[in-house]
Structure 1
Amino acid sequence: MTTGFCLFDTALGTCAIAWRAAGIVGVQLSEGSPEATRARVERCFPGAVEHSPPTPVQQALDAIREHLGGALDDLRWIDLDFEGVPEFDCNVYEIARAIDPGDTLTYGEVAAALGKPGAAQAVGQALGRNPLPIVVPCHRVLAAGNKVGGFSAGSGTLTKRELLALEHAPGFDDPVLF
């Protein structure tokens, strides 16, 4: 199947979206410049062709842009294509996708929800491979003690903190009194 992609501007910089006929296969947060973002997409999706998105992809792109601009949307309605993604990763992504904007879970809580207590590190590795940041909101999964943990997209943990602040996650934006 042919993979298409396009770049689009957001409040966080130039991002990209990649798709196939069955749905969105990738979202790339800004790499600091349009050229760097394009290069990352081309590395992640060899042979992808840059062109205008079809209507469902344009709707997803618009929703991601609006979300990053502060008009929060859970983005669960976007059709995704997980062909070739390991089953464990898909299960982790399903749980992450159910976390509402402004809420968080820890890697250990996701592992427990999978019925695999003690698999927090494997959860973190799966989230590190997440090809769909924002749509699969891996930034909403934190390390033990609600520490930021890692983030492989964009500018790393700085971007993760920025996304959590944008979504008003407690401890990242609004002061918590109690």
Structure 2
Amino acid sequence: MTTRINTGLSTDQLLDTALSLSREKGWESLSLLEIAHSLHVPMTDIYRLIQQKDDLAEYLFDRADRQMLAETAQQNFQHASRQGRLQLLITAWLDTLAPYRPIVRQMLCYKLEPGHIHLQVLGLLRISRTVQWMLHAAAMKDTGLRRIAEEIILTNLYLAAFSYWLFQAPDDARMQRFLTNLLWHYR
């Protein structure tokens, strides 16, 4: 969901500007003041949309979540196996982030700095939220201990796929083979 304030500035415009500037100078060097100057808006307009720079990373991951969920409307998704649905969901999520892979790495390094424990806690919540959406989108309906086990396994699969994507810099075919092999063990 894109948030708008009375100046017409949206979270999508804010995020797109931040990503563009980050390509030039890196995530850590990016300042909110530079974003405001680039958008020709006062800092108060930025403040109405975000409380901290890391909110922009969350907006990017929200965008990936939305794209992942949009995959459920595709006809091939409806007829796919559970493993096939998960592969389509994870692929859609990663494809949304693909143009920003170096920036995503920088965002995660920023979150993992020792002084950013508050961002690390939010990162754990982000992982949980994305996995919950995956479970719902893939129509996984187990309950009780089976649901708990399924959630733990899916979290590990998701993190393995994300880590491979982040650090191996695979091409699409290698990523799909990795996902297929990873999900083959998931029954």
TM-score by length of 2: 0.29
Report the structure, 1 or 2, having the larger strand content: 1
Q: Report which of the two structures shows the higher radius of gyration computed on alpha carbons.
A: 2
TM-score by length of 1: 0.30
Report the structure, 1 or 2, having the larger helix content: 2
